[in-house]
Amino acid sequence: MSKWIVAERHKGGVSMWEMPSRQEISGAEGPIVMVGGGAAPRSLPCTAIPDRLVSGEGGGWLFPPLAWDGQVSDGAEARVAGFVAANPNWDGVICVMGASTAWVHVSAGEVISFQRFVTAQLAAALDVSDDWNEDRLRAALDEVMTRPERLAAYLARAGDAGTLWGALLGAELAAARPYWLGQQVVLVGAGRGADALALGLSGQGVPVERADDTDMLLAGVAAAVSAHGGL
């Protein structure tokens, strides 16, 4: 296949990579597949890797997101497709942490359900530093998981990054318990927020496999292009 472009729309603009070299670029020449381009979502359950891309109104192609229980997957769909492409018989939960977090239940190559959280957006709104202390994070996470209804009061008295991150993640893990309890969990994401989530899961006795965010994004789009029959 000749050169083509993966593009992803996000709050800061658009990021692009040339394929198949996977080199990040600033300008695009060639067919484009856009993640986050506003295509109509696919309802669940459905295959993790879409068999067809959606034709974009201005040209190029769109990677369709997923829809479940009033939520849209917000870019997680491509990462999930990337992991499933490399692990077609895997069953478990893929947690994609970016601007939002998506907990995605996968079985036999299909997405069964997912739940989104905006923990990272709340941390950004509270201007929480990434320079957190592990012990304080663990303590806050454990306390808020026990009483998540007191999250707002706990945040009001928290004064350090570890306590704030721990409190926010404790509330998320309490709500997401059906997705991680007794499951194989793969965490896709980069940065200290993803590190904090991995730490929180390990504290609950959950073995966590990590996967690179960009690798999964590009692999997922490549798998969809192949299923589509090329560009």
Predicted pLDDT at 29: 81
Predicted pLDDT at 59: 81
What is the tens place of the pLDDT at every residue in 55-64?
A: 987 789 999 9
Entry pTM: 0.94
Predicted pLDDT at 1: 59
Exposure string over 185-210, b if 16+ CB within 10 A, otherwise e: bbbbbeeebbbbbbbbbebeebebee
Predicted pLDDT at 211: 97
What is the tens place of the pLDDT at every residue in 105-145?
A: 999 999 999 999 999 999 999 999 989 999 999 999 999 99
| Contact criterion met (CB below 8 Å) for 166 and 63 | no
What is the tens place of the pLDDT at every residue in 177-195?
A: 999 999 999 999 989 899 9
> How far is residue 93's CA from residue 193's CA, in Å, rounded to a whole number?
18
* Residue 173 confidence class, pLDDT cut points 50, 70, 90: very high
* Residue 38 confidence class, pLDDT cut points 50, 70, 90: confident
Name the nearest CA neighbour of 176 among 105, 99, 112.
105
Q: What is the DSSP letter of 42?
A: E
Residues near 144 by Cβ (< 8 Å), separated by ≥ 6? 150, 151, 154, 166, 167, 170, 171, 174
Q: Are strands 13-19 and 23-25 parallel, antiparallel or unpaired?
A: antiparallel
Average pLDDT of 74-87?
Answer: 96
Report the SS3 class of residue 163: helix
Average pLDDT of 78-102?
Answer: 96
